[in-house]
């Protein structure tokens, strides 16, 4: 068993270094929730953000983040450790169902199963479901056999904790409750089953209260992915049947796209195990129970979109490992009386070694080199951040483009590093901080930054990489602007008109470039409006011939601005095709996003409507 655990750990730990630049949206979100729980300790059964999630995994993450800091290694180590512990739990379940030899081979099968090895590397809450499920059903079945109070109580505890793992585990939770309710009928089991039920109810109660009080949140994600159409369900079933040896999950984050569940070597053990389990199990009805465990494990994926979805059916790895382990143990038992008896264990061992070698190859060599991971696991930006940090001192601000500042990946890196790290979208705006900055840019989304902003901000190329694709730019501190101050809004934000067209055609939008400077910390997020108006103005009964509204530097909102920053923004002003030829004013104002209230203008250009005229533009006939 020690050898099995070491082999399972090795398959799950060898990829730590290359995965330092792999961290996707949901993983970063989980880490941020965990560090919030670390800094603000509290008990909560459910987290509402990011579609709503059971909270158990986030409590698991907190000691790892406390020990190793905000870095991908902390998340990966937590996930892989849960994966290794699941091997031990499956050993106990196999032992309870059949015998110790079957338990050992079951743990070995799970140790090399690609499905579980892969998901053990991904820091998502679903990885806790197989562990808690194996512990719960081991204890419940052991309680059935021994009728010991401690086993009943332990079974109830593990079963109740399933409610805090993953939404797919709710099916297993119901399955466990049904089993205990059935056992209330035999007099021998009644007291113990009732105790297990009471413990499970008490442990589950906070989650149950939340579900009853907030069904919209508790079932929101389930409702969004659920599939009940008869034709779709048939297609889902066919997809799952094909997943075993044909086409597996195509999601790059959850599987080597298309890789089937079983290879040829493991298929042999599974087929033997299916045939033999009924005859070697401690009790014949265990075969029916194991089938129920498998069916309930696959149901969350069968009745949701994108089948075969390996994350939603992650519980299936437990009965799969038990069946494969049974097949290995039966092969040994069959071969032992023959002339190959002294080598009986070699045959299933070789089959598992072949499977393990394929797992190592497919994960460490094939999956880790997938081009899809550049976006699916954000390898581009994570590798870019790592490269930029080698060239930045602690006072250098770092921009990630195109990302919003509240993107969990941006927030994760900001929490992990002493440097200030924020989002930016250079397709819309550019920021020149007072102390200068570095920008990690993704060219496939962002285009030619230098050509777009070179005449407004001083940009210098630092380095770039083709695979994964990122570029690092140095942004120099702002220089005194040649454009005069157009207006000051509320003594907070200064506006300069950098580039304003003087002619346009009806129906053809025009582009403006504006420059903003915060004079003091900004307390609210502001948006910008641009109007094309004639005489009389729309406020005096005239027609509004063009209107454009946008947030000020959308991914880098005004509450993030620092005194001394220079923010350049391109704004599009649509023009009505019905606009008559003539001379019109371009009017600009700022307003609070939350309230819609306009920010007053300070100075002689102030007016009751709180806008400033940038200049005049001729509309050609």
**585/538 same-domain check:** yes
**Residue 480: inside a domain:** no
**454/514 same-domain check:** no
pLDDT over threshold 90, residue 435 = no
**Residue 33: inside a domain:** yes
**470/490 same-domain check:** no
Residues in the chain: 621
What is the structure's pLDDT at 604?
65
**444/349 same-domain check:** no
Mean pLDDT, the chain, as a whole number? 94
pLDDT over threshold 70, residue 420 = yes
Residue 545 C-alpha from the chain's centroid: 44
Query: Which distant-in-sequence residues (6+ apart) come within 8 Å of 217 by Cβ?
Result: 46, 48, 52, 210
**Residue 491: inside a domain:** yes
**191/314 same-domain check:** yes
Range of the domain at 283: 2-367
**320/467 same-domain check:** no
Single residue among 367, 388, 407 that ends a domain in this structure: 367
What is the pLDDT confidence band of residue 135, given thresholds at 50, 70 and 90? very high
Single residue among 367, 388, 416 that ends a domain in this structure: 367
Domain count, the chain: 3
**Residue 66: inside a domain:** yes
What is the pLDDT confidence band of residue 300, given thresholds at 50, 70 and 90? very high
Q: H or E segment at 568?
A: strand 566-573
If you average pLDDT over residues 279-304, what whole number do you get?
Answer: 96
**432/341 same-domain check:** no
What are the CA-CA distances from residue 621 to residues 448, 505, 578, 580 (Å)?
Answer: 35, 7, 11, 7
**340/394 same-domain check:** no
**What does the pLDDT look like over 572-584, one tens digit per residue?**
999 999 999 999 9
pLDDT over threshold 90, residue 365 = yes
- Tokens coding 191: 């007291």
- Residue 11 — φ and ψ, nearest 5°? -65, -25
Q: What is the largest CA-CA distance in the chain?
A: 105
Residue 370 C-alpha from the chain's centroid: 18
What is the structure's pLDDT at 493?
94
**300/391 same-domain check:** no
Which residues face 441 on adjacent strands? 401, 471
CATH code at position 529: 2.60.40.2550
**Residue 373: inside a domain:** no
Of 75-89, 125-139, 604-618, give the lowest mean pLDDT range.
Answer: 604-618
To which residue do tokens 């400077």 refer?
A: 517
Single residue among 457, 475, 493 that ends a domain in this structure: 475
Of 479, 478, 510, which is closest to residue 579 (Cα–Cα)? 510
**Residue 372: inside a domain:** no
Of 348, 234, 324, 237, which is closest to residue 275 (Cα–Cα)? 324
**466/502 same-domain check:** no
The separation between the first and the last C-alpha atoms of the chain, rounded to the nearest angstrom, is: 86
**167/241 same-domain check:** yes
DSSP string, 465-515: EETTEEEEEEEPPP---SSPEEEEETTTEEEEEEE--SEE-TT--EEEEEE
DSSP string, 255-294: SSTT--S--HHHHHHHHHHHHHHHHHSSSTHHHHHHHHHH
- Tokens coding 189: 């089991």
What is the structure's pLDDT at 150?
96
What is the structure's pLDDT at 573?
93
**322/230 same-domain check:** yes
């Amino acid at each position: 068993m020690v050898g099995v655990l070491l082999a399972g750990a090795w398959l799950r730990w060898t990829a730590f270094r290359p995965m330092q630049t792999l961290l996707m949206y949901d993983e970063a979100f989980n880490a941020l929730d965990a560090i919030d729980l670390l800094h603000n300790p509290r008990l909560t059964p459910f987290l509402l953000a990011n579609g709503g999630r059971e909270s158990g995994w986030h409590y698991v993450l907190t000691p790892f983040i406390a020990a190793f800091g905000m870095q991908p290694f902390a998340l990966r180590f937590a996930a892989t450790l849960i994966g290794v512990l699941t091997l031990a739990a499956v050993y106990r379940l196999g032992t309870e169902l059949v015998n110790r030899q079957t338990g050992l081979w079951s743990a070995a099968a799970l140790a090399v199963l690609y499905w579980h090895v892969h998901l053990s590397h991904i820091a998502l809450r679903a990885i806790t479901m197989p562990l808690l499920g194996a512990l719960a059903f081991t204890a419940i079945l052991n309680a059935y056999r021994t009728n010991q109070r401690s086993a009943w109580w332990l079974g109830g505890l593990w079963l109740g904790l399933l409610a805090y793992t993953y939404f797919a585990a709710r099916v297993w939770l119901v399955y466990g409750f049904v089993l205990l309710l059935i056992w209330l009928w035999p007099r021998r089991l009644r007291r113990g089953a009732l105790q297990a039920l009471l413990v499970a109810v008490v442990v589950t109660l906070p989650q149950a209260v939340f579900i009853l009080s907030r069904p919209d949140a508790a079932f929101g994600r389930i409702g969004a992915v659920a599939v009940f159409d008869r034709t779709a369900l048939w297609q889902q079933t066919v997809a799952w049947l094909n997943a075993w040896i044909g086409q597996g999950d195509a999601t790059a984050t959850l599987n080597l796209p298309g890789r089937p569940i079983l290879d040829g070597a493991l298929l042999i053990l599974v087929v033997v195990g299916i045939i033999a389990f009924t005859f070697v199990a401690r009790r014949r009805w265990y075969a029916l129970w194991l089938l129920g465990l498998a069916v309930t494990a696959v149901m969350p994926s069968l009745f949701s979109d994108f089948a075969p979805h390996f994350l939603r059916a992650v519980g299936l790895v437990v009965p799969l490992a038990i069946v494969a382990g049974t097949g290995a143990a039966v092969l040994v038992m069959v071969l032992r009386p023959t002339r190959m008896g002294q080598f009986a264990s070699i045959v299933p061992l070789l089959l598992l070694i072949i499977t393990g070698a394929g797992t190592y190859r497919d994960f460490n060599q094939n999956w880790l080199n997938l081009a899809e991971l550049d976006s699916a696991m954000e390898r581009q930006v994570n590798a870019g951040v790592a490269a930029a940090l080698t060239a930045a001192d602690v006072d250098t601000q770092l921009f990630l483009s195109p990302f919003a500042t509240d993107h969990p990946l941006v927030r994760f890196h900001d929490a992990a590093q002493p440097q200030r790290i924020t989002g930016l979208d250079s397709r819309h705006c550019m920021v020149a901080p007072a102390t200068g900055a570095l920008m990690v840019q993704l060219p496939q989304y962002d285009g030619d930054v230098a050509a777009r902003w070179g005449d407004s901000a001083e940009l210098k190329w630092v380095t770039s990489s083709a695979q994964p694709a990122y570029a690092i730019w140095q942004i120099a501190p702002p220089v005194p602007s040649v454009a005069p101050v157009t207006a000051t809004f509320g003594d907070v934000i200064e506006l300069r008109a950098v580039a304003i067209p003087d002619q346009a055609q009806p129906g053809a939008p025009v582009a403006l470039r504006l420059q903003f400077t915060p004079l003091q910390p900004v307390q609210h997020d502001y948006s910008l409006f641009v109007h094309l108006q004639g005489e009389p103005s729309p406020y005096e009964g005239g027609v509004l011939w063009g209107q454009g509204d946008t947030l000020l530097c959308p991914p880098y909102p005004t509450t993030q601005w620092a005194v001394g920053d220079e923010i350049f923004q391109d704004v599009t002003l649509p023009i009505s095709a019905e606009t008559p030829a003539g001379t019109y004013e371009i009017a600009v104002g700022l307003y609070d996003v939350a309230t819609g209230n306009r920010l007053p203008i300070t100075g002689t250009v102030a007016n009751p409507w709180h806008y400033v005229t940038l200049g005049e533009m001729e509309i050609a006939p």
